[in-house]
Amino acid sequence: MSTTTISAPPVSRPLMTVIVLCFGGMTVSLTQTLVVPIQGQLPTLLGTSPSNAGWVVTITLLAGAVSMVISGRLGDLLGKQRVLVATSSLLVLGSVISAMSDSLAPMLVGRTLQGFALGFIPVGIALVREVTPPEMANTAIAAMSATLGVGGAIGLPLSAFVAQTFDWHAIFWMGAVLSLLMAAGVVLLVPHLNDHAGGSLDLVGVLGLTVGLVATLIGVSKANAWGWTSGRTLGSFLGGIAVLVVWGYYQLRRDEPLVNLRVTASRPVLLTNIAAIAIGFGMMAQSIVIPQLLQLPTATGFGLGQSLLAAGLWMAPGGLMMMAFSPVSGRLMTVIGPKQTLMVGAAVLGFGYLTAFFLMDAPWQLLIASSIAAAGVGIGYGAMPALIMGNVAPREAGAAVGINALMRSIGTTSAAAIMVTVLTSSTTDFGGASIPNEGAYQLCFLIGAIAAFVGVALTALVPHVHARAAKAEVVELAEAPA
């Protein structure tokens, strides 16, 4: 059996490598939110129906979910820098195609390629551990992890400004320029280490995972539009779950599976991944609810009357808080360990939601609440991959972090669907139209808080395992024949 090389040569400029990877992570996550300011205009801009235009957002989500797992495995097999170059190139291509699109079909192609680029983030997180000295590793991992939220938070007001100032295509050209800089940085400044394990990619496993994930996530993301009990929703969701069950049975019988489910099912990894769903849910809920509350007319009695750009600017400090608290996460991991750090992050996130529950009468109040929640995300998101990588062998780090990122994505997708359902189930009449009432928004904040505190409870159940997997890997390599 082939094994990866652990003792890679030291990287001469680890800080520069981390900066490039963080810029790449921010660029990838930013491009995912580019269409939010123009989402309501997409049917007119692309000459299609509102239902079809919704796929411009959904297709990116689906591609990203699949890519995060497959890219992680490819990084373990082929070397992480190679996969980072590939995902960067996909982002450049997808951004250019989207920028040149005036109809639905090419836009979906471009957005699919942009979604595939999300595989950059778990591979980058796994590489950070290899290129940084021990005293820098925790902070670097936390910073790279935080980019998943930072880019999205910054992207909303930035793309809103660009869309309002220039032609709507300019937001994708902006993405193309940023992704080109990202790709150049990865090629020129990120070292290619001898970190590949060799072996082959399980193509049947890729197909099974793709079909299962796509069907399941379509069922979740379209549930509000189709109806939670409609045949399409249940057929898609249950059919996807059935495919994933068969896929899991197949993976357990493979010598070189796409995902090592035995490792994934180990208690520390499994509980961390379940906690990731809850914390991902908590992160996304505020991104759905607060902008809507900010933009509701003041005549409703509880709306805050902000424009789209202003709402984005009120939310933008949250992204800065995520990045500002990533060093705090790194320091906490060094002092108290990643498990306790994740618990702290989830608790702070929950406190942010409770703050919003009681303080939602002015934009500055929601700014405080969203900043507290974002600080919790910055702390918790940094700890999750560290907790995962401390419990898996280095040759499986990329795939394991990819699964963890997928679990967070499932949490955010579920949050989007559930928040919309809550907001549309308790409404009031305003000028002849039905809008969510104040209690619906408060209920959303309460649900977000509960999800975060569930994450705290789940993380508390994770057993203390101190780098057991990494030590086992070293022993295996030492005993391997020369």
Distance from the Cα of residue 102 to its chain's centroid:
28
Closest by CA position to 291, among listed 210, 386, 215, 369: 369
CB 294 within 8 A of CB 311: yes
Residues 178 and 248 in one domain: no
Q: Rounded to 5 degrees, what angle do the CA atoms 339, 337, 28 make?
A: 70
pLDDT tier at 460, thresholds 50, 70, 90? very high
Residues 384 and 404 in one domain: yes
Which domain-ending residue is among 159, 179, 200? 200
Residues 180 and 207 in one domain: no
Residues 235 and 89 in one domain: no
CB 440 within 8 A of CB 425: yes
Residues 72 and 185 in one domain: yes
Q: At residue 5, does pLDDT exceed 90?
A: no
Which domain-ending residue is among 216, 239, 257? 257
Q: Across the chain, what does the average pLDDT equal?
A: 84
pLDDT in tens, 165-220: 888 899 999 999 999 999 999 999 988 777 666 677 888 988 998 999 889 888 88
Residues 137 and 285 in one domain: no
Q: Which residue has the tokens 């306790």?
A: 340
Q: At residue 470, does pLDDT exceed 60?
A: no
Buried b (16+ CB within 10 A) or exposed e, 448-470: bbebbbbbbebbeebeeeeeebb
* Beta strands per DSSP E along 69-108: none
Please state the domain count of the chain. Answer: 3
Predicted model pTM: 0.79
Residue 411's domain comprises 261-482
pLDDT in tens, 78-127: 888 999 999 999 999 999 999 999 999 999 999 999 999 989 988 998 88
Instruction: Give the SS3 label for residue 105.
Output: helix
As beta bridge partners, residue 435 has 428
Span 33-56, average pLDDT: 83
Is 53 buried (19+), middle (13-18) or exposed (0-12) by CB count in 10 A? Answer: buried
Residues 326 and 410 in one domain: yes
Residues 394 and 471 in one domain: yes
Distances (CA, A) of 242 to 132, 212, 413: 41, 8, 19
Q: Which residue has the tokens 């099974």?
A: 208
pLDDT tier at 467, thresholds 50, 70, 90? very low
CA 361/CA 237 separation, integer angstroms: 38
Amino acid (1-letter code) at residue 197: A
CA 325/CA 345 separation, integer angstroms: 10
- Is the Cα dihedral 348, 321, 285, 259 positive or negative? negative
| Token representation of residue 212 | 């299962």
User: Which range among 27-36, 171-180, 363-372, 426-435 shows the weakest confidence by mean pLDDT?
Assistant: 426-435
Distance from the Cα of residue 474 to its chain's centroid:
31
CATH number, domain containing residue 470:
1.20.1250.20
Q: At residue 10, does pLDDT exceed 80?
A: no
CB 447 within 8 A of CB 282: no
Residues 354 and 454 in one domain: yes
pLDDT in tens, 389-405: 888 877 777 778 888 88
Compute the CA torsion angle 185, 187, 191, 193 (nearest 10 deg): 140
Question: Residue 52: its pLDDT value, please?
Answer: 83
How far does the chain reach from its first CA to its final CA, in angstroms? Answer: 13
Residues 193 and 272 in one domain: no
Residues 185 and 223 in one domain: no
Closest by CA position to 397, among listed 2, 1, 6: 6
Residues 73 and 9 in one domain: yes
CA 334/CA 322 separation, integer angstroms: 18
Q: At residue 8, does pLDDT exceed 60?
A: no
Span 233-248, average pLDDT: 92
Question: Residue 469: its pLDDT value, please?
Answer: 40
CA 441/CA 422 separation, integer angstroms: 8
Which domain-ending residue is among 184, 200, 216? 200
Amino acid (1-letter code) at residue 92: V
Span 240-248, average pLDDT: 93
Is 79 buried (19+), middle (13-18) or exposed (0-12) by CB count in 10 A? Answer: buried
CA 404/CA 368 separation, integer angstroms: 29
pLDDT tier at 480, thresholds 50, 70, 90? very low
